[in-house]
Amino acid sequence: GERQRVALASVVAARPDVLVLDEPTRGLGHEMKLELMSFLRSYCAEGRSVVLVTHDVETVVRHVDRVLLLEDGRVRAYGTARDVLAASEAFRPDVNRLVQPFYEAGAAAAFMSVDDVVGAFI
């Protein structure tokens, strides 16, 4: 964690307009991940951009504006985290797959997905 902090600090010191980070949450505990995401959010609030390359979907999805999903080197989806993850078979639990036809039929208000329920308690 400390090594990553020092590396990030050395890059951020130059105040680049676009900051690209590869797997920045790897090896970090929960609190450090939250600290990093908070810092990156405030960095963006200064008019800068951050590009995260990560497999840590659970942490990052709560803190990003847009998601670009790559699979086998190809863009599979782009949009809000909720839209991309809901549309991706890889990230949806089986229950969401069962409920999806109801969403598409316009009955979304009558149902909550597993992700909605979990999100309400996290």
- DSSP per position, 90-119: TT--HHHHHHHHHHHTT-GGG---HHHHHH
73 and 96, same domain (yes or no): no
Q: Which CATH number covers residue 67? A: 3.40.50.300
Residue numbers of the domain that contains 84: 2-91
pLDDT at 42: 94
Residue pair 63/21 in contact (Cβ under 8 Å)? The answer is no
Query: Which tens digit of pLDDT belongs to each residue from 75-93?
Result: 988 998 878 877 777 666 6
Higher-pLDDT residue of 87, 108: 87
49 and 77, same domain (yes or no): yes
Active site residue 23: yes
Count of domains observed in the chain:
2
11: Cα separation from own chain's centroid? 22
Question: Given its phi and psi angles, is residue 73 left (phi above 0), alpha (psi -120 to 50 degrees) or beta?
Answer: left
Q: In the predicted model, is pLDDT for residue 11 greater than 90?
A: no
Query: Which tens digit of pLDDT belongs to each residue from 22-63?
Result: 999 888 888 989 999 999 999 999 999 999 998 888 887 788
From 2, 23, 58, 71, the catalytic residue: 23
